[in-house]
Structure formats: C-alpha cells, structure tokens
Amino acid sequence: MHITLCDDEPIFLHSLQRQLTQWAAKTGVVLAIRAFSSAEMLLREWKNGLQTDLLLLDIEMRAGISGMELAQRIRARNPNVMIAFVSNYAQYSCRGYEVKAMRFLTKPIENERLCECLNAALAQWKMAQAESIALDDMGSRVLLRREDILYAVADGHYLQIYQTASRAIVRTRMTLPQLLEQAHGLARCHRAYAANLLYVRRVNRDGLLLAEGTHLPVGRKYYLDFCQKFDELYQRAQNGRMDSV
C-alpha cells in the first residue's frame, strides 16, 4: 500500500513515518511511504504521476498552499484516493467533509487512533484491489479500478482505455472482448468502442453521450444489445432503491 505524507514540521514528519513503519511491521503490510514538507512539492509530483492510496495531510501549513486546498485540488482529479487530515487544531475537523476525508487526527497523534485509521484504510484498499484489473501499459504493470474506466477504444492490436478521474490513458495489448471479460459494467457499443454503463447519459442510433460530455459512435450491430444492458443496469438500480424504502 502506498502512503503519502505532507507536513511542514520535520520532527513530526519523522515521528509519523516511524509510527507507520511500526504498524506495518506488526500487521505484515508492505508499505511504500513518500514524505513531503510542502503542499507545492507534493502537488508537483502528483501532476507528474505520483500514485498513492492514502494521503495524510497537515491541514494548516505555515506557508503556501494549505492541506485543505491541496486535498481539494487532488480530489477534483481523483475521487477515490483516501485522505486523512492531521492538525493541532480540532476546530478544523468539520472541514474534512468537504473533500470526503476518512479521518481527522489531532496532533500529537495517539498510536491507537493512527492504527485505527490505518486499519480502516487497509480494509478499503483491499476492497479496491478486489475490484480492480491488472494491465500492462507499455512496459509497466498498472492496477485499474473498474469504476475508473470511462471507455475503451480498439487501436490495431492495442486498446486505449480512458479513465474517469485523471483522464489518463492506459494503452495495453489486448482486445475489446478480453477487456469485457474482466471489466464488468462495460458494454460494447461499436466494433471499436466499449463504454462504462455507469457514465452513459443518453443513447440512440446516432451515438451515445457520456457524463463528462464525450460522444461515442454506436454501431447498428451493437445498438439493441447495448440498450438492453443499459436498461438492465438501471432496472437493478431502481429495484435496489425500492427495496431500501
């Protein structure tokens, strides 16, 4: 599991890294820890492709971007990364809801509170792994959550997979049928295109519209089957809402 820290107090940052290492030793979890002393440094690395599962951010730093602003910028690009705040000031805790923070930890962090946060993050991380597919991306191995796939396009012997959060493209050597076997929730709308049904907002014989505005073609051969899968998905969703009433 990848954990990224950001705090402008070097002593606290070192102490937090030690606590994380101790938790990993007790639980047997393999951790990759990155630490930054400013939000600007972390944000620069994030834009360059930094991958992490959990962010532990100081909510109020002395200079530059605050932890809250950093979290807002990251959350705008990635709705799934886990975020926990640390601060000397408990009054900031209510602001964590703005970015769907999973925890708010008050300094100095009690080891019991930190372990509870890490255990919860680990459980979410394991669930995400189970809902992901592993792909080769031009020599690198990437893990892609099924719900992060917006649509896929066949390009010769390769697929270009467009993601929802970062709009990053994964290029992998596989066919559309092979992807559909692994990524449940996608459906083929054209000989060269498959779309995630969760993000389809309109479909007719002229094409389909995705939630963020992308238009995809719809092939005559695939139209009726795509519409059936689309209707089945939302019928299940409607039945689930009725059952919960």
pLDDT tens for 139-165 read 777 778 888 889 999 998 899 999 886
For the segment 173-188, what is each residue's pLDDT rounded down to a tens digit?
Answer: 999 999 998 887 899 9
Domains annotated on the chain, with CATH: 2-130 (3.40.50.2300), 135-244 (2.40.50.1020)
Instruction: Answer yes or no: is pLDDT of 243 > 50.
Output: no
On whether the CB atoms of residues 211 and 199 are closer than 8 A, the answer is yes
Q: What is the mean pLDDT of the chain?
A: 86
The secondary structure of residue 173, as a DSSP letter, is: S
**Confidence class of residue 195 from pLDDT cuts 50, 70 and 90?**
very high
Q: What is the pLDDT of residue 210?
A: 92
Strand partners of residue 216:
208
What is the dihedral angle through the alpha carbons of 212, 213, 219, 225, rounded to the nearest 10 degrees? 40
Q: What is the pLDDT of residue 126?
A: 81
End-to-end alpha carbon distance in the chain: 38
What is the DSSP annotation of 114-156? Answer: HHHHHHHHHHHHHHHHHTEEEEEETTEEEEEEGGGEEEEEEET
**Confidence class of residue 242 from pLDDT cuts 50, 70 and 90?**
very low
Highest mean pLDDT, choosing among 96-100, 183-187, 233-237:
183-187
Q: How far apart are CA 118 and CA 23, in angstroms?
A: 8
Q: What is the pLDDT of residue 240?
A: 47
Strand partners of residue 185:
none
Please tell me which residue, 96 or 18, carries the higher pLDDT value: 18
